[in-house]
Structure 1
Amino acid sequence: MTIQARTAGSAPQIPRRPLIWALIAATLGGGATIVHPLAGVVVVALILAATLLSRVPIPRLGVAMTSVTAVAALAGPNLALPQVPSVFAFRVLIVAMLIGAVGYVLMGARIGGFGPIAIPVGLLASMALWAVFSTTWAEDRMAAGRWILFLSMMGSLAVAIPIAFGDRRRAVGFLRLMGITFAVIGAISFLEIALGVRLPTSRLAGRDLATGATSVFGNENNFATYLTISLPYLLALPLVFRDVRLRALGLFGAGLALVALLFTGSKANILAVGIIFITLLIYFGTDRRQRGRAVTAVVVAALSVGLVVPAMRGSGVVPLPERMVAKFDFTLLQAQVEQGTGSGAVRNSLLGDGLGLIRDSGGIGVGAGNADVKVRSLLEFPGVANMHNWWLEVGVNLGLVGLGIYILFYLHLATRQLRISRTSPDPLVRYLALAGATSLAGFVIGSLGPSTVIHFAPMWIMFGLGMLTIRLAANTTDRPPEEAPWNTHHSSP
């Protein structure tokens, strides 16, 4: 074998592959710039990122992509192009992730980890297939396609979480990322409360008398629902772990979450908080082995009631504005329903209209995404087309079959996590299971807050964490040291 050495005077050879990609980037970027300067920058940036990541192992790249995509999903339209508001970073990332996954499989590789979560993934797939089938009788095919697209994108994110973070080390990393994201989202809400500083996407931006908190979610109800989905993951820290730092973090975070929730004025999510605490009290009160933790749960619940209830009445340590206190007046809601005015009357009308549409369709629904279309066409249009009730929205769109599939999926996640929370030898898995099951319990009512949650990222991340818990439990064979519950070196096989 002979090796030809480069002479001292010869010029260095430029690697051909980067040169080819540079020429492609210049060509495509130049062409895109003709259409719009920003489009050219985006194209060049994407090609540059693809070139830099080409040597990263695919599984590691998948973990990074899922992490970034989950954060982008929570940020929503705040990470959109100013010139094209409908192009969110999340939508670009989830499409890129799906294309990458398909390409990975076509190359002959195998994506593992589906075994323990075959049932929930199968139910989600069945719901999506039924949604596609429902387009055969949907009045508005475009609306149906849009709804199915949202279902597919968000469902893919939920499934990607247990696949990407299926061992203990990666699961802990993802929880830390979600914790940091929660802290940032919470900080934005307190900037709103204290200084009136709001993101451009907030519906309260520019209103001088606005007092609510919306953070990155645009409106109070969506933010409130995110808080009640997250709350059990904070409350479970002092109830499961012995580490003083984790207990302090959980109590401090839960307290801030409850304060922020009060500034949303969301009655549905205040009720969800009640369900969350009732679930925790029943859970620990019915287990003789955990009577000590039951006492802790009672103390935490009492402190939370002492924080929330007086504030709702206009007193206590959290000084709510009078307009916010009025939002928590449940007698006002009843009066609105009786008088046919206000949001209470609108929601009551939507409930009756939705049930009527299910009945008139013979129980098969009006077709994916067509609930809003049908409500707008009613003779007595209530003025709002969104169902403002996720359970009702699924039932109206997909009928009793689609609603039944969704209920089975929901119950499977809840019951499996409850069982795991009592039987798993790993405190991390028990923590995830208890928090996940409690979050699902609260979301039964919390889901009535947003106008729609088909593309509501916190719900789908909650589902993803539930499936992740099931996968981790299936892989757990022994117990890590109790004094080190976040020991990342204890990995599942």
Structure 2
Amino acid sequence: MNTYAKTKYHASFIGLSIILLLAYLVVMLKGVDLQKLILVSFVGVTALGGLTFIWHRWWKKAHRFHIAVSLLVLSSFIGAAVPLYKVAGFTIYPFRILLAWCIFMLIGFIYYQNKYIVTGLSRMKESIFTSFGGLWLFFGFFALSWSINPMNTIQDIIFLASGIFLIYLILLVYRNEEDYKELYFYWIIMSLLLVGIGLINHFFHIHLPISRINHVAQYQKGIPTAVFTNENDFASFLAIAIFFFLSLLKNGKSLAYKLIGLSGMVCSIYLIVLASSRANYIAILLGLIVWFLFVLKPSQRLRLSLAGLLFFLPVVIFLWDKVSGVLGSVGKELATLLPTEGGGDSVSIRENLLKNVMVFLENSFGFGVAPGNIELYMKKFQVYDTSGDYNVHNWWAEVLIHYGVIIFVGYILLLIYLFIQLVKIVRTNHDQASRYMGEALICGLGAFTMASISPNSFMALHYNWLFIGVCIGFVYMKKKGEDHIVKTNGSINHP
């Protein structure tokens, strides 16, 4: 890198540090109490340390558009936790600003025929998801024609468009093994940040303004929510993040990496238990089953089975009461997905919500009720009583009833395709970069199936789209072969 470029990047980094410092001083001058200052200090120091590591490891020689998209990816973990401004009910926060900036940059690069961007766009044309994402967006706009609440539909389409554009940008920018190793460590760094905030939530009872825990009784103040509105959203994130930590523990060459992986896993499980998110207990179990069946070698499975039998057999014998209690709790959560008889309990409510979804789907001839309309349909047209609960609490049902059978089937087929390809990658690639990301994604995808039914709406959670985008991009990169383009400052070099 030439002297001018070094000076420019150093100046940018110093500028970012100054901005973080000024933000910290503003918070102090506002008279924030000591407890909240602890949270601000932790976030600020962690963010600066993480950005320093990322800068020196990946961004020094990166294309400026790569840096912009990477900042967008990092901001997607924070979501709406840092609202900057509200306009007519529409909240502006860092992710949305950076998304608009990336699109603006992209238009400029296309206009000037930048080689880095043109090459990436040519690769995207061959991706199946590029066409499917466009079809999904088109159907969302088409559904406006029968929406009974167009404003809700437009709001849902904005979330959908944000998620699909994020996936498009991942396909455009991240092209080789080193890029996906970079993305992998983004997950680790940001997961550590969110786990740290969750622990502060629990032990110090300090929560961000977005958290619902600010308005609950004192005995519930220890429930962690990190940067999310409620504990279920946070627990679903952790159920996926756990398998990035597990991959780091298993594949990390240094002791430090293994300790970070182990600590991250233990703290994540602890926070999920505190959140009492039973769906995510099952999500973790599904992820571990995938890890056992598709990641471990036969000899490793045998050794682990024998060790587990020797450890758990005495536990089951001597602590049967506690074990049966845990199994009963899991059984109740599984029962929410099965037909039951009953009155106003949560099992019956969930069953009736899904029954209403099927009625609405049948009445709409499989096209759905249009994005953002299901709660209004539940209030006005429900056939089965849901005791005042109108949110379906199920991502799969949400996609089905909002976007219809065609989009739903396409989405399911996409996930099945990704899972099959990830299994092939994990079994045939033995280099460290592939193991890191491949194992984390395949187990995370297993956990995703249940983690996605815990939040009220998975559509608005950016980590949902980021995770699927990384799966799509990684599979595409491995299937088509590495793009050997080396990232440089505005140009392309072929080694």
Q: C-alpha separation between the residues in 2 aligned to 1:390 and 1:173? A: 29
- Per-residue CA deviations over 1:14-42 (Å, capped at 9, x if unaligned) read xxxxxxxxxxxxxxxxxxxxxxxxxxxxx
- Whole-Å separation in 1 of the counterparts to 2:319 and 2:204: 20
Percentage identity across paired residues of the two chains: 21
The whole-number CA distance in structure 2 between the counterparts of 1:392 and 1:147 is: 15
The two structures have a TM-score, normalised by structure 1, of: 0.74
- Of 333, 353, 356 in structure 1, the residue corresponding to residue 356 of structure 2 is 353
CA gap 1:111/1:467 in 2 versus in 1, 3 angstroms? farther
Matched, 1:440 2:445: yes
Letter paired with 2:272: L
**Partner-residue secondary structure (3-state), 1:387:** coil
Question: Are residue 461 (structure 1) and residue 466 (structure 2) matched?
Answer: yes
Instruction: State the partner residue of 1:256.
Output: 267
Aligned mates of 2:301, 2:251 — CA distance in 1: 8
> Displacement of 1:260 after TM fit?
0.9
User: Which stretch of the first structure deviates more once superposed, 460-469 or 393-402?
Assistant: 460-469
Partner of 1:77: 80
Moved more, 360-369 or 183-192: 360-369
Aligned to 1:47: none
Q: Which structure has the greater CA radius of gyration?
A: 1
Distance 1:297 1:398, change over 3 A: farther
Query: Which structure's residues are more often helix, by fraction?
Result: 2
1:165 paired to 2:171: no
Determine the C-alpha separation between the residues in 2 that align with 1:448 and 1:222: 10
* Cα distance in 2 between the residues matched to 1:364 and 1:174: 36
Cα shift at 1:162:
3.6
Could you list the runs of 5+ residues in structure 1 that have no partner in the other structure?
1-55, 316-321, 479-490
Instruction: Choose from 393, 396, 404 the match for 2:398.
Output: 393
Q: Secondary structure at the match of 1:455?
A: coil
Find 2:119's aligned residue among 109, 112, 115.
Answer: 112
Judge conservation of contact 2:188–2:245 (CA < 8 Å) in 1: no
Question: Within 1, Cα distance between the matches of 2:263 and 2:225?
Answer: 20
Matched with 1:148 is: 157
Distance in 2 separating the partners of 1:248 and 1:95: 38
Alpha-carbon contact 1:127-1:406 (below 8 Å) kept: no
Q: Which deviates further from its counterpart, 292-301 or 215-224?
A: 292-301
Partner of 2:246: 235
Give the Cα–Cα distance (whole angstroms) in 2 for the partners of residues 234 and 225 of structure 1.
15
In the other structure, the counterpart of 1:43 is none
User: Counterparts of 1:134 and 1:403 in 2: how far apart (Å)?
Assistant: 14
Structure 1 pair 326–237 and aligned structure 2 pair: CA distance change class (3 A): closer
Q: Do the aligned partners of 1:239 and 1:296 also contact (CA within 8 Å) in 2?
A: no
Contact 1:422-1:430 at 8 Å conserved across structures: no
Matched, 1:190 2:196: no
Query: Equivalents in 2 of 1:297, 1:250: separation in Å?
Result: 22
Which whole-Å deviations, capped at 9, do the CAs of 1:212-235 have from their partners, x for residues lacking one? 211111101101100011111111
Distance 1:378-1:68 versus aligned 2 partners, 3 A rule = same
Match of 2:228 among 217, 228, 253: 217
For the structure 1 residues 457 and 332, does the alpha-carbon distance in structure 2 shift closer, same or farther, using more than 3 Å as the test? closer
Change (3 A) 1:146 1:279: same
More divergent stretch after superposition (295-304 vs 276-285)? 295-304
**Aligned twin of 2:481:** 475
| Structure 1 residues 299 and 272: alpha-carbon distance in aligned structure 2, compared to 1, 3 A threshold | farther
In the TM superposition, residue 296 of structure 1 has moved relative to its aligned partner by 5.6
Instruction: Choose which of 292, 295, 317 in structure 1 pairs with 2:300.
Output: 292
Alpha carbons of structure 1 residues 180 and 57: separation in structure 2 relative to 1, 3 Å: closer
Q: Which moved more, 1:245-254 or 1:179-188?
A: 245-254
Q: What are the within-5 Å matches in structure 2 for residues 6-405 of structure 1?
A: 60-81=63-84, 86-109=91-114, 110-113=117-120, 115=123, 118-207=127-216, 208-210=218-220, 211-284=222-295, 287-288=297-298, 291-292=299-300, 295=303, 328=329, 330-331=331-332, 338-379=341-382, 380=385, 382-405=387-410
Q: Which moved more, 1:262-271 or 1:79-88?
A: 79-88
Letter of the 1:112 partner, please give it: T
Query: 1:460/1:294 Cα in 2 relative to 1: closer, same or farther (>3 Å)?
Result: farther
SS of the residue corresponding to residue 466 of structure 1 reads: helix
Following the alignment from structure 1 to structure 2, what is the Cα–Cα distance between the partners of residues 81 and 311? 51
- Contact 1:239–1:297 under 8 Å retained in 2: no
SS in 2 for 1:112: helix
Question: What is the CA distance between 1:206 and its match in structure 2?
Answer: 4.2
Q: Tell me, yes or no, if the aligned pair for 2:247 and 2:439 is still in contact at 8 Å.
A: yes
Structure 1 window deviating more from structure 2 (376-385 vs 222-231): it is 376-385
The answer to which of 59-68 and 376-385 deviates more is 376-385
Name the TM-score, length of structure 2 as normaliser.
0.74
CA distance in 2, matches of 1:250, 1:312: 31
Give CA-to-partner distance per residue, 1:370-421, whole Å, 9 cap, x none: 2223222225564233221111011101111110111122122211111111
Alignment RMSD, CA only? 3.7
SS in 1 for 2:214: coil
Secondary structure of 1:86's partner?
strand
C-alpha contact 1:167 1:492 (8 A) present in aligned 2: no
Aligned partner letter, 1:209: Y
Deviation of the 1:363 alpha carbon:
1.3
Residue in 1 that maps onto 2:31:
none
C-alpha distance 477-242 of structure 1, shift in aligned 2 (>3 A): farther
Q: Which moved more, 1:142-151 or 1:79-88?
A: 79-88
What secondary structure does 2:244 align onto? helix
Matches of 1:402 and 1:175 in 2, distance apart? 29
What whole-Å deviation, never above 9, does each CA across 1:339-363 have from its counterpart, x for those lacking one?
Answer: 4334433322211111111111111
In the TM superposition, residue 272 of structure 1 has moved relative to its aligned partner by: 0.6
SS at match of 2:107: helix
Measured against aligned partners, the alpha-carbon deviations of 1:20-72 in whole angstroms (never above 9, x if no partner) come to xxxxxxxxxxxxxxxxxxxxxxxxxxxxxxxxxxxx99972222222222222
Give the Cα separation in 2 of the matches to 1:255 and 1:151: 33
Give 1:266 shift: 0.7
